[in-house]
Structure 1
Amino acid sequence: MSDSIKKKRFQTVVLPHLNSAFNLACWLTRNRQDAEDVVQEAYLRAFRFFDGFHGEDGRAWLLTIVRNTFYNWYQGSQKQRQETSFDEELHQAAPGDVIGQMAADNDPEALLMRKDSELQLQQALQALPLEFREVMVMRELEELSYKQIAAIVGIPIGTVMSRLGRGRKLLATILAPTSAAPVAPSRQER
């Protein structure tokens, strides 16, 4: 395939799914900058191996590459983290920095209009273990079919369904209201 035909076909089949790729990468990496790096690497890989793509579902194919790129990046960063000494001041982060960073990039007026429940849901999704979070994001946010998710993750459809079920239960547990704090006795009860 000539380079110009390859570029045009790539732009038609793969490029429109950039938002989905970035969304998945954000949820997997929990960091906007790392997600950008993962997506950039994934698109380079997708273009490099585009001649081997003969399917019709460019979105599922691309998200598979994003997921695999993330896991390669994650293993590399884990290995580097083990080899690097920990500097408390350099690595100190406040809880919710990822969500705060993502929110800071949006329009302030839109931020004011967002519901508290959205923030709670995002935080709950972030708290899920990776194996549940990735299938939840693909199904609930990216609206992929069980079959597509199974192909992307490389697991049977039944396992996808199981992870979704368990992920939803964990999410419900995380979002469940905590038991009310004990009320201090009134003056009359003392």
Structure 2
Amino acid sequence: MFTRYVLPEVQVLLRVALSLTSQPADAEDLVQETLLRAYRSADRFDGRHPRAWLLTIMRNAEVNRHRRRRPHLLDDPDADLTRLSVAPDGAPPTPEEVVVGEQFDEVVDAAFAALPRQHQQVVRLVDVDGLTYAEAARLLGIPEGTVMSRLHRARKRIRIRLAAAGLAPKRGAL
């Protein structure tokens, strides 16, 4: 199966990886990681749309590579957020400014990184990749209710971190 579906796509993977990384060595590493992940999960692949499946794996691998390289995730995002939570003119930021602001991304990234691996998986599949609960459940080999439960807990933890950073209303404050 791996030979039939994956090997014909290697050249496409290399071209896409090079466009993502801009460095041939990094592109080769990304393709290698993609192929390894595909090989490990080949038993869960249904045989439909192999290119889309592989490109999704590649995208997730690239996101993880960037996440590992970002040193600001090691910093305390709350320290910067309290300093930046009020606009220079003293007016509180608009909701749009909060969401578009860099501090929001940093808090969400840190909250996501702090989630257990199982919760990260469902958030990535449902909220980032746009899979349905049923699709995510099939992909992970777990019941749909487990996906829903993990997603609820993960979103709650992220909301708590956002509220602690002053970027979302605390429960009951609406």
TM-score (norm 2): 0.48
Higher relative contact order (CA 8 A, sep 6+): 1
